[in-house]
């Protein structure tokens, strides 16, 4: 990476709840903090794969990595990312959607260098082809350095109704080749019906909106000033306090942030700004949006089952079994035996205080269980 350019910083958005992964995910342990695909938590994997974008040396890369999260998640987030300096944690006093925290990060980075590029990424996605992902991100960084607020669009593989879409000027041509080149964004489209999603797929002009945004810090602060003046006013107040020292800044964040407008960066800025660019990407992306997604990404046996070692699977196919009662270092024989007989297409998740059994094709509805528990006042389980 050419260090003669202004630096690249990365902001990881880590405030979500992930109710579709109950009972593994809870309010105090959301999706990004779970090792849903084995190994380390999703947020740790997100951070490590972008370090080469921040600096040649990994130690320097951590200095340019920011994490936006809620107060209740500070301790587990620090445990998942001990390398991130404490001053790089942007702790939101109240949830206000993505525009305020992204604006706060952009304004903070811009104090030192408005030409610095900020890459904004979700904390809980999976990337199969990391080298290709970094190639696409570097193309987006180059686009941002040229003055265009830029996003990443994923070439759709099926008519998905659960994602928003981006219509690009030349998406089909751009994504048909391996080279990553920015294209002009024509419009953002909300989650479509099945019929419209099929039309989008057939046209070749539409990409999935993966929630990744790249821009110079000064360009984003200018865009917020133009399109979200109330947010800009609040961020200016925090900036003025920051000039007086860390204690004054912290007090201003506590006072100002909860009254900032609650709006997404998509609706507040991306859908309004002119000259927006998109770099099409094809790098094995998944938003890991449900237990179904986790099963699709998991290692499976010859019958399509993903299950802990020691499970008994008889005449069972295409099941996803997760045992969160197991502790690191447990021998397979010391764990509770999970046995499936004559069933297929199930998700089975066991924790210390809950057991979920649901058809895999209903895994998007797991959040209904969380809603029911809350309605019954059983918040301890959510």
Counted domains in the chain: 2
Do residue 130 and residue 174 come from a single domain? yes
Handedness of CA 284, 285, 288, 291 (dihedral sign): negative
Do residue 244 and residue 203 come from a single domain? yes
Q: How far apart are CA 305 and CA 74, in angstroms?
A: 35
pLDDT lower than 70: segments of the chain: 1-4, 18, 57-59, 171-179, 326-334
Q: If we measure between CA atoms, which residue out of 261, 281, 365 comes closest to residue 21?
A: 365
Strand order across the beta sheet in which 355-359 lies: 320-323, 346-350, 355-359
- Domain that residue 275 falls in: 8-286
Q: How far apart are CA 84 and CA 169, in angstroms?
A: 38
Helix (H, G, I), strand (E, B) or coil at 189: strand
- 96 in any annotated domain: yes
Helix (H, G, I), strand (E, B) or coil at 178: coil
Do residue 272 and residue 330 come from a single domain? no
Q: How far apart are CA 286 and CA 125, in angstroms?
A: 6
- 53 in any annotated domain: yes
Do residue 195 and residue 336 come from a single domain? no
- 301 in any annotated domain: yes
Q: How far apart are CA 96 and CA 258, in angstroms?
A: 7
Q: What is the pLDDT of residue 103?
A: 98
Do residue 310 and residue 201 come from a single domain? no
CA 282 to chain centre: 17
What Å distances lie between residue 68 and 11, 84, 117, 230, 266, CA to CA?
7, 12, 17, 21, 17
Q: How far apart are CA 129 and CA 234, in angstroms?
A: 39
Do residue 165 and residue 89 come from a single domain? yes
C-beta separation of 235 from 103 below 8 A: yes
Do residue 278 and residue 368 come from a single domain? no
Other C-beta atoms lying within 10 Å of the C-beta of residue 286: 16
Q: What is the pLDDT of residue 287?
A: 95
Say which CATH number the domain at 133 has: 3.90.550.10
381 phi and psi, to 5 degrees?
A: -90, 0
C-beta separation of 298 from 320 below 8 A: yes
Q: What is the pLDDT of residue 1?
A: 46
351 phi and psi, to 5 degrees?
A: -125, -175
Domain boundary among 256, 286, 316: 286
Handedness of CA 70, 74, 79, 84 (dihedral sign): positive
Cβ partners under 8 Å of residue 173, min gap 6: none
Say if pTM beats, i.e. exceeds, 0.85.
yes
Q: Does the bond joining 18 to the residue before it have cis omega, within 30 degrees of 0?
A: no
Q: If we measure between CA atoms, which residue out of 190, 192, 174 comes closest to residue 182?
A: 174
Cβ partners under 8 Å of residue 377, min gap 6: none
Q: How far apart are CA 337 and CA 344, in angstroms?
A: 18
C-beta separation of 178 from 131 below 8 A: no
pLDDT tens-digit map of 295-312:
999 999 999 999 998 999
- 2 in any annotated domain: no
């Amino acid at each position: 990476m050419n260090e003669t350019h202004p630096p690249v910083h990365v902001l990881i958005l880590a405030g979500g709840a992930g109710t579709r992964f109950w009972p593994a995910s809870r309010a105090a342990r959301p999706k990004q903090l779970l090792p849903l695909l084995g190994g380390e938590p999703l947020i740790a994997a997100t951070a490590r794969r972008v370090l080469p974008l921040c600096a040649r040396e990994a130690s320097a890369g951590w200095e340019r990595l920011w994490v936006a999260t809620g107060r209740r998640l500070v301790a587990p987030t620090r445990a998942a990312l001990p390398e991130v300096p404490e001053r790089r944690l942007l702790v939101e006093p109240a949830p206000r959607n993505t525009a305020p925290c992204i604006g706060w990060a952009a304004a903070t980075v811009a104090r030192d260098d408005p030409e610095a590029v900020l890459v904004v990424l979700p904390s809980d996605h999976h990337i199969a082809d990391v080298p290709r992902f970094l190639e696409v991100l570097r193309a987006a960084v180059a686009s941002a350095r040229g003055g265009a607020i830029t996003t990443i669009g994923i070439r759709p593989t099926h008519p998905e109704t659960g994602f928003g879409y981006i219509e690009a000027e030349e998406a089909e041509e751009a994504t048909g080749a391996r080279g990553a080149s920015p294209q002009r964004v024509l419009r953002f489209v909300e989650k479509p019906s099945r019929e419209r999603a099929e039309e989008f797929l057939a046209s070749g002009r539409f990409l999935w909106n993966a929630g990744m945004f790249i821009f110079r810090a000064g360009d984003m602060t200018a865009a917020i000033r133009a399109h979200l003046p109330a947010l800009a006013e609040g961020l200016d107040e925090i900036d003025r306090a920051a000039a007086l020292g860390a204690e004054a800044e912290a007090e201003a964040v506590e006072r100002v942030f909860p009254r900032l407008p609650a709006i997404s960066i998509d609706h507040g800025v991306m859908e309004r700004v002119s000259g927006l660019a998109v770099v099409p990407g094809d790098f094995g992306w998944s938003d890991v949006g449900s237990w179904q997604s986790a099963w699709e990404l998991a290692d499976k046996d010859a019958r399509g089952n993903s299950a802990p070692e020691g499970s008994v699977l008889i005449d069972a196919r295409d099941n996803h079994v997760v045992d969160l009662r197991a502790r690191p270092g447990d021998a397979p024989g010391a764990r509770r035996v999970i046995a499936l007989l004559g069933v297929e297409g199930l998700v089975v998740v066991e924790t210390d205080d809950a057991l979920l059994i649901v058809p895999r094709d209903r895994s998007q509805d797991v959040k209904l269980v969380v809603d029911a528990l809350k309605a019954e006042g059983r918040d301890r389980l959510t």
